[in-house]
Each structure stands twice: as structure tokens, then as C-alpha cells.
Structure 1
Amino acid sequence: MDETAKEDFKQDFIKKTIVQQAQFEQWLKYFFFLNNELSEKWNFVYQDVFYTKFYELLTEGLIYANKVLESLQKGQNSNKLDWYSKLIEELNNIKSEFTEEEFDYIEYRRHNSCHIFQNKYEHIQENLQIRTERNGRKLQDINISLKKLISKHGSDKDIDVYINSKLQNKLTELYNVLTEIQKKN
């Protein structure tokens, strides 16, 4: 590779990194906005989008944040290091507070809000193949888990209210802490 190509590659990588960090932070603002709106009043549309954002944050978002944190440890940006450290720490704490049934429900609601049809939870697939597992777990166990949670709370809305009550103060506090760290920058 010639020097010009190497420099172009390096510049593209730097630009991509900067853009992705800005996108991630903007995406988080949207997530925190939804949390704030739901703390004031339950809304079905906001709730569906919230589950999508929350599930993605606890899966892909945590993976991304950990990669950023790892690269920040080699640098000198202590504010950004603190910001990502606090984000990861609190998200891991929040994630650990959910039972397997509750997390199944969050994932299921995320899928319902992202896909028109929810066929991946069905035993008989469109191609007439029989599916018994989803992500290494028995579909029967997942279905029992979801039904158990709905029976326990009475309705989807009641589960939403319960999950929101578990999350809203923690997420609001996390937002405030992250904002304070960012102001120091």
C-alpha cells in the first residue's frame, strides 16, 4: 500500500470513529428523552421505541461502549474515559437487576416493535421446518417465561409500568451524571 492510500485509510478510520461516537451520543439522548417522556406519562408508541432502544443499548451499545473504553485507556482524555466508564458500569448494574423473564419480555417487545411479524418465536417456521430453540434456549421455555410474566402483572401495560418504575430513576440519574461529566470537557 502506498503512503497516500495508508493516509487515506487512516483518515477514513478517524472520521468513522468520530462520526460513530457522535451517533452513539445522539442515540443515547434519544433514549434518555424517551425515558423522560415515559416518566411523565405512559405512551404505547414511546414504550415500543423505548424497548427497542433499551434492548439495543444493553446488547450492541454495551459492546460498542466497551470497545471505546478500551481504546480510551490508551489515550489522555480522562473526561471521556470517565463518561464511558460510568455508562458501562451503570448499564451493567441495571442489566443485572432484570430477571431472565423480564429480559425475555424486553427482547420480545423489541422484536415486536421492529418487525411486522414475529415468526421467530413460533415452533413451525414459514418453510415448514420445526424450530425448537431461539438463541440457544428452548422456545417452549421462552414462551412459558413470557406467559408467566404477563400472568404475574396482568397485562402488557402493567409490565411496562413495572419495568419503567424499575428504570426511570436510575436512567434519569445516569443521564444527569453523564451530563455533568460531559460539562467538564
Structure 2
Amino acid sequence: MGDINSRESFRLNATLKIITQQEQFFQWLRMFLYINESLHNELDSVYQQMYYVSLNQLMKEGVPYVENVTRLLKNGENKHLKEWFNTLQNSLYKIKELLPENEWEYIEYKRHNVCHIFQNQYEQIQDSGNIKSNRNNKKITEIDKNFQSILLKYKLDDGFDKHITTTLYPILNDLYNELKRIHDEEQNM
């Protein structure tokens, strides 16, 4: 009897986790799309910071999540949900390929600036006095040069912010409209 209760408890917890993570993902995506639209209408430094956090995490955690859900839905019967996730996956891939690697690294750096007071991961001299040469298998001096070239190219952070938001806005706006269309179509059935 204990085994049955244990299995049922496990199934219930697994089901709750799936439902919870789906809602968390949908909320994260809604927030990101809202911030995208807000920044398109008016630049705002606080929203810009949240934009980088959301974008970075969407690419790091969201893409694998969407890939997994898309794979699980492949043989499913809910055509709207399949279309919704396929549309989202295609747009995320498009965004991922749109920017060069050094700009993605800078976006991650900007995300770290929002989430951590100090950027010791990017510093050669650590708080302990030790010297750190690499971050994620890249020389810190090379990372620094890449960041400086980005700042020169886009005329500092404000220029980079504008570049990223204006580059990604059309894709994200189209994504929002397409996801809304799929959702509305499903609701009207």
C-alpha cells in the first residue's frame, strides 16, 4: 500500500511541477514581451535592465524548455498548442542567430550587472588578491576587448541598448501578434 501512495504522490508532484513551470514560463514570456513593447514606446533604464535579465534567461533556460515541450507535443493532438510552441521556438532561434556571440556575451554581462553588485567574474584581480585569467574558457583580457569594441561601435551603453531593442523589436512584436492570433483562434473554436 505504501508503494502505491508513494507512486501517486510522485505523479502528483511531477504533474504539479509541469503545470507550475508552464505557468512560470508563460508569465516570464508575458513580462518580456510587455517590457519589449514598453521600451519600443519609451526608453527606460529600469525596464532596459529587466529586458536584459529576461532576454538572457529566455535564451539560456527558455529555449531548452521550449525545445522540450515542442518535442513532447510533436505527436499530440492539440494543434493550437503545437503551433504556438513551434512559432515560439522558430522566433527564439531567429533571435539567437541574429546577434553575434560577443553581443550575447555583453547581454549576459549586462544581466550580471543587474543581478550582482560586483562583477568579480569579469575582473582579473579577485577580492582574495588572486589573479584570474579566464572566464568560461575565454581570456578576461579578450572579453574586455570585445566589450570595449561593442561600446565603441554603439557609442556606449545607451547606443547598445537602442541597437538591441530596435533590432529585436520587430521579431518580438511579430511573435506576440502571431501567438495572440493562435490563442484567439483557439478561443473562438
Q: Normalising TM by the smaller chain, what interval?
A: over 0.9
The answer (yes or no) to whether the contact 1:105–1:146 under 8 Å persists in 2 is yes
Q: Which residue of 1 aligns with 2:159?
A: 158
Aligned pairs, how many?
185
The reply to whether residue 18 of structure 1 matches residue 16 of structure 2 is: no
The offset of 1:170, in angstroms, is: 1.0
AA aligned opposite 1:31: F
AA aligned opposite 1:102: E
- How far, CA to CA, are the matches of 2:38 and 2:166 in structure 1? 13
The reply to whether residue 43 of structure 1 matches residue 44 of structure 2 is: yes
- How far, CA to CA, are the matches of 2:104 and 2:28 in structure 1? 21
Normalising by structure 2, what TM-score?
0.93
Q: Which residue of 1 aligns with 2:143?
A: 142
- How far, CA to CA, are the matches of 2:142 and 2:125 in structure 1? 16
- How far, CA to CA, are the matches of 1:9 and 1:154 in structure 2? 54
Q: Which residue of 2 aligns with 1:86?
A: 87
Q: Which residue of 2 aligns with 1:122?
A: 123
The offset of 1:143, in angstroms, is: 0.6
What 5-or-longer segments of structure 1 have no aligned partner?
none
- How far, CA to CA, are the matches of 1:3 and 1:78 in structure 2? 34
Deviations 1:155-176 (A, max 9, x none): 2111111111101111011011
Normalising by structure 1, what TM-score?
0.95
The offset of 1:112, in angstroms, is: 0.3
Q: Which residue of 2 aligns with 1:111?
A: 112
What 5-or-longer segments of structure 2 have no aligned partner?
none
The offset of 1:127, in angstroms, is: 2.2
- How far, CA to CA, are the matches of 1:6 and 1:74 in structure 2? 26
Deviations 1:98-125 (A, max 9, x none): 0122112111111101111111000121
The offset of 1:74, in angstroms, is: 4.2
Higher mean C-alpha deviation, range 135-144 or range 33-42? 135-144
Q: Deviating runs (4+, > 6 A) in structure 1? A: none
- SS of alignment partner, residue 184 of structure 1: helix
Q: Which residue of 1 aligns with 2:101?
A: 100
- How far, CA to CA, are the matches of 2:37 and 2:20 in structure 1? 26
The offset of 1:20, in angstroms, is: 0.9
- How far, CA to CA, are the matches of 1:64 and 1:150 in structure 2? 32
Q: In angstroms, what is the RMSD of aligned CA positions? A: 1.3
The offset of 1:64, in angstroms, is: 1.2
- How far, CA to CA, are the matches of 2:93 and 2:23 in structure 1? 22
